Amino acid sequence: MATRTDFVQPQAGSQGFARTNKTFGRRVTMLAADLVTANVVEAFMVPAGFTVTGIIAVATDMDTNGSPTLALSVGDSGSSTRHLSSSNIGQAGTSTQTLASTGLLYTYTADTKILVTATTGSATAAAGTLDLYLTGFMQ
């Protein structure tokens, strides 16, 4: 399993009042090498005290095969599928706002890296992007 960090700048901390809506995320660059089964990309960090209420994920077509197989998951080191489980959004360049039930109202107790995992590798990998955002509030 290969892990690659895609973010390079500091992430926003826990500013604001409790229950103030926050959105953490960014456009994640996905290399063809990232689209192999079990490879992981560190997308961004969320701060301690962040409670997740939603997800926005928009992918480009990263599996150009006529019978695409790519499945992407979004989670963290505790659960690779906490927020998105084996989604096919990278097969044809689609989007989702469906948060996995294990991620709804999940509160992070420490600064945590959000991970994108290729649950099932691409049949014909093509580099692309994943616009990935977690919405929620600070405790």
Which pLDDT tens digit goes with each residue over 18-39?
A: 677 889 999 999 999 999 999 9
- 29 vs 21, 108, 126, 127, 133, CA distance in Å? 26, 24, 11, 8, 14
Global pTM value? 0.89
Domains belonging to the chain, first-starting first, are 26-138 (2.60.120)
pLDDT for 77-125, tens place per residue? 999 999 999 999 999 999 999 999 999 999 999 999 999 999 999 999 9
Query: Which residue from 57, 52, 50, 63 is spatially nearest to 85, judged by alpha carbons?
Result: 57
